[in-house]
Amino acid sequence: MSGHERFHYHNAEELLKKAADLGLELPFQNSIEPLFSSLRIGEIELPNRILVQPMEGCDATPDGAPGEMTFRRYRRYALGGSGLIWFEACSVSASGRSNPHQLMLTADTLEGFQRLVETTRKAARERFSSVPYFVLQMTHSGRRSMKDAGSRPRAACFNPNFDQSPDDVGIMQDDELESIGEQFAAAAGLARAAGFDAVDIKACHGYLLHELLGAFTRKGSRFGGSFENRSRMLLDIVRRVRDSIPGLGVAVRLNATDAIPHPYGFGMERTGSAAPDFSEPLRLQQRLLESGCNLLNITAGIPSYMPHLGRPFDRPARGVSHPEADPLAGVCALLRWAAVFQRAQPAMPVVGTGYSWLRHFWPHVAAAVLSRNWASLVGLGRGSFAYPDAPRDLMAHGRLNPAKCCFACSCCTDLMVNHRMTGCVLRDPEVYKDIYRKLPK
């Protein structure tokens, strides 16, 4: 496979030829009608299949309430016409926040979240005849939580890919994990009170519930070792939310594979190779469905370990090297992996990702993915930062404006990593350009 190349395609023929040259299967069709078919999730019918992925804006107030720029961002999503808005990672506790500007839902911040839901929904209703489905992502950052100077990260288990020695990390005990599970359930109740249609019990990208899924080396614990133990906390939370909060949908954003060799990664071959093995993730999907999860969002990788896996890019974030593989190969892998899960459970809506790098061609790829039943919804993260009104333009004109699309430049990632207010530096420069310029070199 050839090396990394930036996006340089002027037409669909060039893009498809590159895919063929690389031996990749890239779904593509001219008609984008499948994007605007409806989809029912529970009792709610979505107006279209386009979804805003959860991308943190790092613009909450110190107590975790939505800030002024949070309201601006979600209003823009609502006016843009997406059928589902997956609100960004919201911590279930102060100790689980990954940065001082991350959202956190508590009794004290509930009123702010209620206003966020109300104003976002109102904006959509005023522009369109229907409103999006609202999912709030609930998380605990685990080893990535903020810590006091000199203190060790708190994690589910030692991982040599992130820790130099076992002494570098403090292992969470079972009673602490059980307490965090209760925090998830309490926060889900508050999310319902705030007006969200569903909550996402986040299990991806190296955060706590995801780390537990790969806790093969955690010994003498109810939450480590066997598959039953490693999946226990996630499944317990899903069941608890289902049973205690009638009417609230339960979603999970799940890593299909981590790219971290066994025994430190989830969804990996047991040989210690870098090859994925979906047997456990698919087994977990079945258990999630049985436990009350009615929406699955498939992603991959851990940003601090192999960032291109979940977000194919042209320019890497600062301090990150270019991968050897072409970004188009990463896009096709993400599409294919989502298809594995959608085909395993046809009645369970699966969200696919990886579309932003494709620029103005993504609607044609996404429509073909839907036509093939490789996914039920198509999600854009960085693409929504850059072009929040993309669905509206597709409805009005049947095409996107290339000058408004995500440039895959990783500037938004640079802002996020540095805990700065985050958005698209190139497409929303009046807000984010000066913030970016002031980043430490």
How high is the mean pLDDT in each 10-residue block of the chain (441 residues)? 86 98 98 97 95 98 98 98 98 97 98 98 94 98 91 94 94 98 98 98 98 97 98 98 97 97 97 96 98 98 92 94 93 98 98 98 98 98 98 98 98 97 98 97 83
3-state helix, strand, coil in the chain (%, to 5): 40, 15, 45
Which pLDDT score is estimated for 258?
97
Q: What is the CATH number of domain 12-437?
A: 3.20.20.70
pTM over 0.95: yes
Residue 252 parent element (H or E)? strand 249-255
In 175-201, which positions are buried (b, 16+ CB within 10 angstroms) versus exposed (e)? eebeebbebbbbbbebbbebbbbbbbb
Cα torsion for 78, 84, 85, 91, to the nearest 10°? 160
User: Cα dist. 202→36, 205, 280, 298 in Å?
Assistant: 27, 9, 17, 11
In which region does residue 250 sit, left (phi positive, over 0), alpha (psi from -120 to 50) or beta (all else)?
beta
pLDDT of the residue at 1: 46
Domain extents for the chain?
12-437
Question: Please, are residues 381 and 356 in contact by the beta-carbon 8 Å criterion?
Answer: yes
